[in-house]
Amino acid sequence: MTVTDTTEAVLAYDDVVAAYDPVLGLEVHVELNTATKMFCGCPTGFGAEPNTQVCPVCLGLPGALPVLNARGLESAIRIGLALNCEIASWCRFARKNYFYPDMPKNFQTSQYDEPIAFNGFLDVELDDGSTFRVEIERAHMEEDTGKSTHVGGATGRIHGADYSLVDYNRAGIPLIEIVTKPVEGAGERAPEIARAYVAALRDLLRALGVSDVRMEQGSLRCDANLSLRAKVPGAAPGSAEQRAVPLGTRSETKNVNSLRSVERAVRYEMTRHAARLAAGLKIVQETRHWHEDTGITTSGREKSDAEDYRYFPEPDLVPMSPDPAWVDELRGTLPEPPPQRRRRLQAEWGFADLEMRDLVNAGAVELVEATVAAGAAPAAARKWWSGELARRANADGVELAAMPVTPAQIAALQGLVDAGTLTDSLARQVLEGVLAGEGEPAEVVESRGLQVVSDDGALGAAVDRAIAENPDVADKVRSGKVAAVGALVGAVMKQMRGQADAAKVKALLTERLAPADSTTDVSTS
């Protein structure tokens, strides 16, 4: 087995799609967010000290036995239903046998020919608003392996490493593997469709509440299979003539850990395959590793068809036959499909397409919805979550939903702005206090003394003082240079430490500095 890290020849994309028809196959592994592992009671939290969330079962100690996590099965069925799958009336786990140090038992408890869910589809919305249907082969339950870290060596891979460390905290975390049928008819849009499918799946899983779906943490992982076949001249992608052409040899690209990477990896593989085919070379059926930094894939291990996992039904677990009444009950818990829900909310809120897409990409739809439900106007809610809060979350490197502020607090904050108690800039200071754990917005206003001064006496005094301290500017205004009033507004705001309504300040100044012809009346009155 050799590893080639050399850059391979690629063909220009336009030439690729002119000559070849791409066929995709996407395998997505989703870590469920159950409190405990699939077959034991160990916690599943991310980021714990290595090998602290383990027990005899997930360490595969001699004699230990698995017991199915009922919530894991429930999540699997809900995912299957949301993907329009049939749910097996009877199914089993199977053992997938192979040796690897991060597999405690040297077999993975998985499902083989009897998956919990099968024959479904997911309608994927593309950027131009059109919909592409991706057919689902199956969704099955399995357990995650441990995580190997290869120390030393240049590549961070096992070859050439000085030694390897294994963390079994991840071993036994519930996984659902969702496998598409061959995705045909994508044509030149194959890379976009691959990304859109994973994004749609992510949104669906998030709406189901079954997973954290964080690609960067590995709770959503995508393997992209790709093959090319000769394009039939004149035939449309997905047409019967095109489908009649046998599938080409596929490669399986792993380690694709962001939506953007899914698109780039598929695109790269299309150009790599095409270059080989155009040069009369064969495609090697193999696993490829995606490199985010260089934007290429390199060869992993060759994956021959002879690889034999010696599957057989897992004798330590009893077969599952979910009660149809329970399945129906779970069907009733399915959320509104995310695209449909997005369209509905967008219409209700009156947002532009771009505004809505930003919210979706920021994972802020639910937050805005909750903020609106708590009384804020949709536009104001959107402004907070995709503006100030998104900026802060990004700076702190945390998920928007993980910010220590609730939609109700944002609605309350906006309420204070709407009531004139706070200006926008004061509101941002109050938010800072809320994020710092100083309490509810009203409490922060109180403790920091941040509300707009509405006492006309104090304000009037500040205005008079500003005029007195800036006689030149005041004269300019009096002589009709109205724009000069801004400097005086600034001076007043400074005196008031920002706690004044700028519009009101401007009105007072304008009134006091009215042109000379009308001041006579004032002075004589």
Partner 1 sequence: MTGTTLPADLTRATAAGLAQALAAGDVSAVEVAQAHLDRIAAVDGTRDADGVATGRAVHAFLHVCAESALADAKAVDDARAAGQTLPALAGVPIAVKDVMATRGLPTTCGSRILQGWVPPYDATVVANIRAARMVVLGKTNMDEFAMGSSTEHSAYGPTRNPWDLDRIPGGSGGGSAASLAAFETPLATGTDTGGSIRQPASVTGTVGVKPTYGAVSRYGLVALASSLDQAGPCARTVLDTALLHQVMAGHDPMDSTSLTGEYPDVVAAARAGATGSLDGVTVGVVRELSGDGYQAGVLRRFEESLAVLTEAGAKVVEVSCPSFTVALAAYYLILPSEASSNLAKFDAMRYGLRVEPGGVAVPTAEQVMGATRAAGFGDEVKRRIILGTYALSSGYYDAYYGSAQKVRTLIQRDFAAAFGQADVLVSPTSPTTAFPLGDKLENPLAMYLQDVATIPANLAGVPGMSLPSGLADEDGLPVGLQILAPAGADDRLYRVGGALEAILTARWGGSVLDRVPDLSAALATAANGATR
The least CB distance from residue 373 to partner 1, in Å, is 41
Choice from 14, 49, 308, 323 touching partner 1 (CB under 8 A): 308
User: Using the rule CB under 8 A, is 73 a contact of partner 1?
Assistant: no
* Binding mask of the shown chain, residues 166 to 195, with x at each position contacting partner 1 by CB under 8 A: x-----------------------------
Counting contacts by CB under 8 A, is residue 68 touching partner 1? yes
Is 25 an interacting residue with respect to partner 1 (CB under 8 A)?
no
CA 18 centroid distance within chain:
33
Which of 7, 15, 45, 101 contacts partner 1 by CB under 8 A? 101
Residue whose pair of structure tokens reads 């809320």 in the numeric block: 434
User: Nearer to partner 1 by C-beta: 65 or 230?
Assistant: 65
Of 58 and 411, the one with the shorter C-beta distance to partner 1 is 58
> What would you measure as the largest C-alpha separation in the chain, in angstroms?
105
Stretch (H or E) spanning 439: none
| 316 forms part of the interface with partner 1 (CB under 8 A) | yes
* Whether the Cβ atoms of residue 298 and residue 4 lie closer than 8 Å to each other: yes
Q: How far is the CB of 62 from partner 1 (least distance, A)?
A: 4
- E strands, 320-456, in order: none
Q: Are 228 and 190 spatial neighbours (Cβ–Cβ below 8 Å)?
A: no
- The rounded Cα 91 to chain-centroid distance in angstroms is 32
Instruction: Tell me which residues in 201-230 interact with partner 1 (CB under 8 A).
Output: none
- Cα dihedral sign, 90-95-101-105: positive
- 43, 45, 56, 209: which one contacts partner 1 (CB under 8 A)? 56
* Given 65, 373, 482, 522, the residue binding partner 1 (CB under 8 A): 65
* 133 contacts: CB under 8 Å, gap ≥ 6: 121, 122, 123, 124
Quick check: 165 binds partner 1 (CB under 8 A)?
no
What's the sign of the alpha-carbon dihedral 187, 191, 196, 198? positive
Q: How far is the CB of 311 from partner 1 (least distance, A)?
A: 8
Among 37, 78, 92, 95, contact with partner 1 (rule: CB under 8 A): 95
| For partner 1, the closer CB: 49 or 455 | 49
User: Binding residue for partner 1 (CB under 8 A) from 312, 419, 443, 497?
Assistant: 312
Q: How far apart are CA 370 and CA 373, in angstroms?
A: 5
| Region binding partner 1 by CB under 8 A among candidate stretches 276-284, 305-313, 325-333, 335-343 | 305-313
Q: Is 52 in the site for partner 1 (CB under 8 A)?
A: no
3-state secondary structure 59-97: CCCCCCCCCCCHHHHHHHHHHHHHCCCEECCCECCEEEE
The verdict on 99 binding partner 1 (CB under 8 A) reads: yes
C-alpha distances in angstroms, 189 versus 71, 196, 348, 430? 37, 10, 31, 47
Total residues contacting partner 1 by CB under 8 A comes to 30
If the CB atoms of residues 19 and 64 are measured against partner 1, the closer one turns out to be: 64
* Interaction between residue 140 and partner 1 (CB under 8 A): no
Determine which residue in the list 22, 25, 60, 300 makes contact with partner 1, applying CB under 8 A.
60
> Are 508 and 460 spatial neighbours (Cβ–Cβ below 8 Å)?
yes
Radius of gyration from C-alpha coordinates of the chain: 31
Q: Is 363 in the site for partner 1 (CB under 8 A)?
A: no
Which residue among 3, 9, 61, 514 contacts partner 1 (CB under 8 A)?
Answer: 61
Question: How far is residue 243 CA from its own chain's centroid?
Answer: 33
| Residue 394 burial class via C-beta count within 10 angstroms: exposed 0-12, middle 13-18, buried 19 and up | exposed
Interaction pattern, residues 449-488, with partner 1; x per rule: CB under 8 A? ----------------------------------------
Residue 55 C-beta: closest distance to partner 1, Å:
8
- Closest distance of CB 49 from partner 1, Å: 18
Looking at beta carbons only, is 97 or 406 nearer to partner 1? 97
Mention every residue, 6+ apart, whose C-beta is less than 8 A from residue 47.
none
Instruction: Confirm or reject binding of residue 1 to partner 1 (CB under 8 A).
Output: no
Nearer to partner 1 by Cβ, of 9 and 151: the residue is 151
Q: % helix / strand / coil in the chain, to the nearest 5? A: 40, 20, 40
Q: In angstroms, what is the minimal distance from the CB of 34 to partner 1?
A: 17
Dist. CA 118–CA 179, nearest whole Å: 9
Positions touching partner 1 (CB under 8 A) are 56, 59-68, 95, 97, 99-101, 104-107, 164, 166, 308, 310-312, 315-318
